[in-house]
Structure 1
């Protein structure tokens, strides 16, 4: 948003009234953008009601192709701005750094420069972080971090030194901010959320996601409270079953309203904003694909005829024993070469012969207690406003507005 500063000065002189020409000045945000720096969004109303909004913040986050949700944070003094993926499936905060010379780093315009921050201090500890797609290594340090206007002092930060492969080369973000439990943090470093809690920066120890779909912008991440305008009805809560990831229990799974029995003895699910798709237990993958009408090609990829995607069944999860979460099928063609069929918003990519590859992927690992493990990624979370409660150790879902 551009700010137009108009200066009107009238001087009554003996010769008459002289008018000073109007001058358009660039805003602070515009000047920072010219330097490649980006500021996180902060509600302008904070200056009018600072006490009312103290301890909570809502920030806009970007939606990239319904697969990645990221937003701006700043690190250091003076602040250096970075776009980070907000990930409930990991615990560490890391960003690209000038200490890294691999392709993924060299092609990124925004790299943290610790020597330019007066509040930075080195840790000396190294780390390695594997993800479902890609991995990296680096060193830890401490600095001031601003997330949506909430300022965390002495936050542990990972500075990348090696980002092999191509995964982070094509990424739309400069780093990842993990929001899971500290028990899975590499190097036993304290996550951002835990520092917010210990520094008493939040009026409630919760955060919440509203993820838009169909490539629309307007996604939100709230800390310390919920945005009542982003969901309908009430929030239903279910307990966290393992304080590692945001893991919850599933008591039933239906296809077109018919109970499969696959979770009759219980299943587990990780609620993960850092995973785009729905991930199903490998032992039921074949039967699930058969029920969808998908065929496995010579490359092991399951595909369906794109002309038949409107007939795909509805999938339903029963969570907390009584609340059913339905995901219906919606067909949307975004372009001549990309097609999305929503079955849990299952992404399907069109091939030349109008065959769509199904975006449900298998996981070969069971949960910690041996029960079948699902991952509820963005395709699920687009349809449900999700709330993560660290005090009550529970996850809440409500129908997204």
Structure 2
């Protein structure tokens, strides 16, 4: 979620009514993935804590089963919906002609469907049984996607980096209607079938490259929501430390400079010997909020890795929406092809100048903990995930966009998609957003689900005691479940048996072939972003789930 669009809600966040969502007890604690995986030996940071972010007081978040999705959380989500519309306003042109992997063949076993209606109407449900479609995962992900997997990719000028990525073929169990049975089968199968994985001892013996570093991230929490994750960068000569929201859904760096209406810490350009203003105007629109200023150049260091003459927006004016922000600015980590500045991102410059050992970075996002999250620059941290990494080729070097071939609320993989769509993997967005027709199809799989119009357009509710288990599939590589404790945003009211879902529908302002996959999903999966060649995104099961 964009802090740029948060209204003056901070004084209200200490309300005792704010709490985490109802824990889901009917499913295993860890996500599972069906599909081939590929192991890459990581580069670890030489100095694991090069910067210390500003820590805000974490809220006391009891998990007592009576947690409420309150008005503050509803307002934050409505603001994020507007932000998502603004943030992806140009996606129509960027993603119009991309080629996607074929949609998953539905797995249907004893399927029960419900009709999603408004919260004031009755919900009808009917049961039907269809022939089970057996699926197998025999193809492996590759570092270089084939022509059938990728689109006409918009290339950027970056060095090609060769990575050693031995693939591992893994035979996995067939889908089951019982997730507990599926998880049990995975546990018993994994040790022998994944024997070729790099062991912990081998990983610890790997040389730790000097061209990498870690940025600790702070989780800003509001009730049931992990709103955003932010950390520190250094800027100027001598260096000044400021905090930013690290956002894979945008591509600009901006910070307040000589800003009379900015409340967060600012960069003092008068104290730096390397600051240069270009005189060109700079602006970014975030939903109802905006920032304006001039384009400048400065020495910037990310995790201790320096870039000279990095372009950034020197913001001199912010709208009122910004006054409660815990961080000073935003650091975009998508591709410069979508940058408002038209200039390379800081990570692109780190790769281009050879300052990083590897062409990728990795995110670990903790769940409802002020500390513990991290961004690994030029590396990924295998201590933060379990098992191997599955890689997915990008369909466009704009957003971190991959083929979403399946979306299901059921363990049997029943698909809510009639065709594949683009999934933008976005660390700067809190929840998951899809076109309304897809959200309707998704919640139709949950008996008793309905639209939660009492909160506004795009919200849905479902019985808190549901056996639903949400999952996505990318490039036909099998279901990737995410935690119900993240999907379940809390009860609709005191004593209510209905809970609010973390997958929302957007009826206008979002392309009908685009899903925004935010932190709700990424807390269950360690994510890796590799800009080499045609680029790719990798996922591995997060340690959050154990």
Which residue of the other structure, out of 412, 430, 438, is the alignment partner of 1:284?
438
1:160 matched to 2:315: yes
Q: Distance in 2 between matches of 1:263 and 1:156?
A: 40
Q: Report the 3-state secondary structure (helix = DSSP H, G, I; strand = E; otherwise coil) of the residue aligned with 2:320.
A: coil
Report which of the two has the higher share of strand.
1
Which residue of the other structure, out of 463, 466, 469, is the alignment partner of 1:311?
466
Residue of structure 2 equivalent to 1:380? 521
Which residue of the other structure, out of 505, 508, 532, is the alignment partner of 1:391?
532
Residue of structure 2 equivalent to 1:137? 292
> Normalising to structure 1: TM-score of the pair?
0.77
Q: Report the 3-state secondary structure (helix = DSSP H, G, I; strand = E; otherwise coil) of the residue aligned with 2:521.
A: helix
Q: Distance in 2 between matches of 1:360 and 1:322?
A: 21
Report the alpha carbon displacement of residue 139 of structure 1 after superposing the two structures with TM.
0.8
Q: Report the 3-state secondary structure (helix = DSSP H, G, I; strand = E; otherwise coil) of the residue aligned with 2:354.
A: coil
Q: Distance in 1 between matches of 2:432 and 2:344?
A: 29
Deviation larger for 129-138 or 294-303: 294-303
Change in 2 beyond 3 A, CA 1:70/1:294: same
Q: Distance in 2 between matches of 1:218 and 1:290?
A: 36
Structure 2 residue ranges without an equivalent (≥5) = 1-49, 54-206
Q: Is the 8 A contact 1:136 1:164 kept in 2?
A: yes
Structure with more relative contact order (C-alpha pairs < 8 Å, separation 6 or more): 2
Residue of structure 2 equivalent to 1:269? 423
Which residue of the other structure, out of 504, 507, 512, is the alignment partner of 1:361?
504
Change in 2 beyond 3 A, CA 1:132/1:319: farther
Residue of structure 1 equivalent to 2:255? 95
Residue of structure 2 equivalent to 1:85? 245
Residue of structure 2 equivalent to 1:348? 490
Q: Is the 8 A contact 2:417 2:438 kept in 1?
A: no
| Superposed counterparts of 1:106-121, under 5 Å | 107-108=263-264, 110-121=265-276
Paired residues in the alignment total 332
Q: Distance in 1 between matches of 2:288 and 2:479?
A: 31
> Normalising to structure 2: TM-score of the pair?
0.57
Q: Is the 8 A contact 1:73 1:145 kept in 2?
A: yes
Q: Distance in 2 between matches of 1:288 and 1:113?
A: 49
Residue of structure 1 equivalent to 2:484? 329
Q: Is the 8 A contact 1:310 1:329 kept in 2?
A: no
Q: Based on CA coordinates, which of the two structures has the bigger radius of gyration?
A: 1
Residue of structure 1 equivalent to 2:279? 124
Report the alpha carbon displacement of residue 41 of structure 1 after superposing the two structures with TM.
4.3
Q: Report the 3-state secondary structure (helix = DSSP H, G, I; strand = E; otherwise coil) of the residue aligned with 2:438.
A: helix
Report the alpha carbon displacement of residue 196 of structure 1 after superposing the two structures with TM.
0.6
User: Cα RMSD between the aligned structures?
Assistant: 2.4
Change in 2 beyond 3 A, CA 1:132/1:276: farther
Q: Report the 3-state secondary structure (helix = DSSP H, G, I; strand = E; otherwise coil) of the residue aligned with 1:214.
A: coil
